[in-house]
Structure 1
């Protein structure tokens, strides 16, 4: 699994850094966990076969170091203010802490580093950046919620995540803007419930793993590579694009389930304007997934007139089928289990 043993070491410290942060009882302990997590991820990002990896790791380090220093400054300032009773300064400090954590997680309008860093990473590292690296900042954000400020963050994340992916040809950048859009939904879930954002994150992680597993196995990095792929297996091609639609949140598939829960929670809070905005711009996200799928389904289907050995193993094919089955039929399975138990 690991060609170099140091990567296993840094993966363990990466996981332990996040666990330190989410189980910490003080802001200083949380900051320390974030730093361990950051310094563990940098060596994992380095790849001698990819020229962009050193640039990506430098961008990631500088951005995260800035966010960490702002967070530490804000936390020290917050403790200094605890002896005074100035609510205005405390609110500003709270906003400073939230902004530093949003910069760490890559939410808009603090997203400037996220797509360019994603472009320089391998698919495995991209998956870590999109899923695991968001756990600690989001957990800390849930401790210091300011509804008015976070409504602006949700609106900007949904807006930029939707429109940013329209003119992309790189799949990694497309996935990064999709991640920014999903982050807006997670923060929306956070406003109403402590657990709702985590349920959304869990579903998003499963779907991202499915898509990244397929992209990585078939070495796909650009949209034009997807059009003519799987000539030997139209079933695999079909399932691949249904998983993409599931990630976009199309209703029959599992990706709609967490969105459904958040829509219900926002309706219960009477936040109709926010909900309308989110649903409208998420349809734009679905549009750029549909644009890829439409071309691949209908316009670029080709069959070979000779037979040859598939370039992927049966093991990979079986794993792909299992993952895409969960992605496509997950909503139906969950509903059946709910009515049975």
Structure 2
């Protein structure tokens, strides 16, 4: 539908919209940045040759437009309160604003659009919506001091993300529910410190890039494709499932490090109940990741003896193995580097 130069333009506008939101000194400026981001992302999602992507772009537009409308309404209420001395409860305005930002980021209980949307996207668009599109809403959430309401979203996100992935066979929906679960951890980190949230987000983005890179190369969209695709290349198969465990936060992989930091900080803040719920949800998440990996790691597992065509060239192989190396052994490397200083 669009050529490469048009896509580069839309990606540039999307990045610019995010930076406008992050650097805005007013809520109206932040809303404008979110709108630029929204209008530049929709052409990247839509594809006239694919009905699923067209449906996904419509779902994304309607959901984000609703959230933007309510956000603009809360901005107007705030301006009426500050400039015209209307008697409006500040906590009510903040609660409306927080709800719209949670909807934009895909956090529970406003998550219903997110897994269905992901199921109609390409892997590159899925990666954008799991990582980059969360930066602006989460930064705006950090400006609001509503920890009592935010904790409800954290609890719902971690358990809905964990339980929702139990019966999924679609890889994109599985990654969507994993993203919701990780979003609960990111919101918990956000309640402690912005720097901890940023560290968690960077590690999560790296692990998501590693997995989606492989899924995109081999055009994998369902779980049954994982078991029959790498019959003749055990290294790729082994690293792929190890990356799954790393994304779930299983020690001693790199994905455990950001969760370790959050656990440590919650312990310092004496938030033991919240920490208990976070760990319980992670155990559920690790259960279905281990269930996926268990059969592949068994020596007597039946494998199809046929090859699949792919565009996995030598450069892609090196790049993927480099990402996987840091994903699997990154915790050891960081621990060694930290002990040296």
Distance 1:56 1:232, change over 3 A: same
Residue equivalent to 1:302: 303
Q: Does 1:270 align with 2:274?
A: no
Residue equivalent to 1:140: 140
Structure 1 stretch displaced more, 2-11 or 120-129: 2-11
Q: How does 1:175-190 map to 2 (within 5 A)?
A: 175-190=175-190
Residue equivalent to 2:6: 6
CA apart distance, 1:116: 0.5
Q: How does 1:140-159 map to 2 (within 5 A)?
A: 140-159=140-159
Name structure 2 gaps, 5 residues minimum.
none
Residue equivalent to 1:55: 55
Which whole-Å CA distance do the structure 2 matches of 1:164 and 1:310 have between them? 31
Q: How does 1:82-161 map to 2 (within 5 A)?
A: 82=82, 84=85, 89-161=89-161
Distance 1:294 1:135, change over 3 A: same
Which whole-Å CA distance do the structure 1 matches of 2:267 and 2:308 have between them? 54
Q: Secondary structure at the match of 1:228?
A: helix
Q: How does 1:230-241 map to 2 (within 5 A)?
A: 230-241=230-241
TM-score by length of 1: 0.95
Q: Deviations over 1:143-179 (max 9, x none)?
A: 0031110110100000100000111110000000000
Segments ≥4 residues shifted beyond 6 Å: 306-311
Residue equivalent to 1:216: 216
CA apart distance, 1:48: 3.8
Distance 1:119 1:330, change over 3 A: same
Q: Deviations over 1:279-330 (max 9, x none)?
A: 01111111111111112222645385x9999863211111111010011111
Distance 1:303 1:190, change over 3 A: same
Residue equivalent to 1:281: 281
Q: Deviations over 1:182-240 (max 9, x none)?
A: 00000000111121111100000000000000111111100011111211101110001
Which whole-Å CA distance do the structure 2 matches of 1:11 and 1:311 have between them? 24
Q: Secondary structure at the match of 2:229?
A: coil
Distance 1:89 1:187, change over 3 A: same
Q: Does 1:249 align with 2:249?
A: yes
TM-score by length of 2: 0.95
Residue equivalent to 1:65: 65
CA apart distance, 1:82: 2.4
CA apart distance, 1:85: 8.8
Which whole-Å CA distance do the structure 1 matches of 2:39 and 2:303 have between them? 47
Asked if 1 retains the 8 angstrom alpha-carbon contact of 2:245 and 2:289, the reply is: yes
Distance 1:4 1:82, change over 3 A: same
Residue equivalent to 2:46: 46
Asked if 1 retains the 8 angstrom alpha-carbon contact of 2:218 and 2:310, the reply is: no
Q: Does 1:201 align with 2:175?
A: no
Residue equivalent to 1:259: 259
